[in-house]
Amino acid sequence: MNQPTVTLHDLGCIAYKTAWDFQERLFNDLIIEKRNGNTRAMNHLILCEHPHVFTLGKSGNPSNLLADESALNLLDAEFYQINRGGDITYHGPGQLVVYPVFDLEQFFSDIHKYMRYLEESVIRVLANYGLEGERIAGLTGVWMVEDAPRKIAAFGVKCSRWVTMHGIGFNVNTDLSYFDQIIPCGIDDKQVTSVSRELGHEVTMQEIKMDFLREFQALFEFELMNV
């Protein structure tokens, strides 16, 4: 059986709303392709960073955003309520954001397996740097658990007709002080961390991207195509 094909879009640092609109277009186009009977339509994988932005999932609690409008202005940060699952999170420079726009029926029709594969891709990348990322029962995400639980990657997706959008926020060289403005993912007794904090030094985003692509492709087994 031929592997699914995935087009890579490495967008660099891009405004959140611009990336969201781009995702929506790819997402809607893929659903239309499926409705028209194309069971081998092109999937898409977006890699990017965002300027400072807080996003709240459709089931999230707005009170988990601690900053008011004036504070957001001082932080030069935006805020969006969006159509993914999950609660509130932060995106910003130094964080690898990953948006798979996949027709899961070309891979496997199991949203729980999909979420575990997203987590596993980050866990495998961390292992390349000697870091042990783990899951915590009942909590979506990847955590460093030695000493005290610290979330290093957050996940939130939308899935309709087995087509996905949104995805992963992976803290690489992220300024973690911005998380002080929220109750991350609505969990008030857990900390956040980053690859650079755990290692004690920064790593290059390009190196992380290459590691991520290798591990992600190995898990999902697809043919990668560049734009």
Length of the chain: 227
Q: Could you tell me the two tokens for 25?
A: 């277009």
Of 40, 27, 31, nearest in space to 107 by CA: 40
Active site residue 13: no
Q: Could you tell me the two tokens for 115?
A: 């979420």
Residue 166, beta-bridge partner list: 157
Report how far residue 53's alpha carbon sits from residue 82's, in angstroms, rounded to the nearest whole number: 12
Of 86, 79, 91, 82, nearest in space to 59 by CA: 86
Report how far residue 153's alpha carbon sits from residue 171's, in angstroms, rounded to the nearest whole number: 6
Contacts of 7 (CB under 8 A, 6+ apart): 42, 43, 44, 45, 225, 226, 227
DSSP secondary structure, 142-206, as one string:
EEE-SSS-EEEEEEEEEEETTEEEEEEEEESS--GGGGGGB-GGG-TT-EE--HHHHHTS---HH
Tokens 């959140």 belong to which residue?
16
Give me the amino acid identity at 2. Answer: N
Q: Could you tell me the two tokens for 163?
A: 């087509």
Active-site entry in 13, 48, 159, 185: 185
The catalytic site residues sit at 185
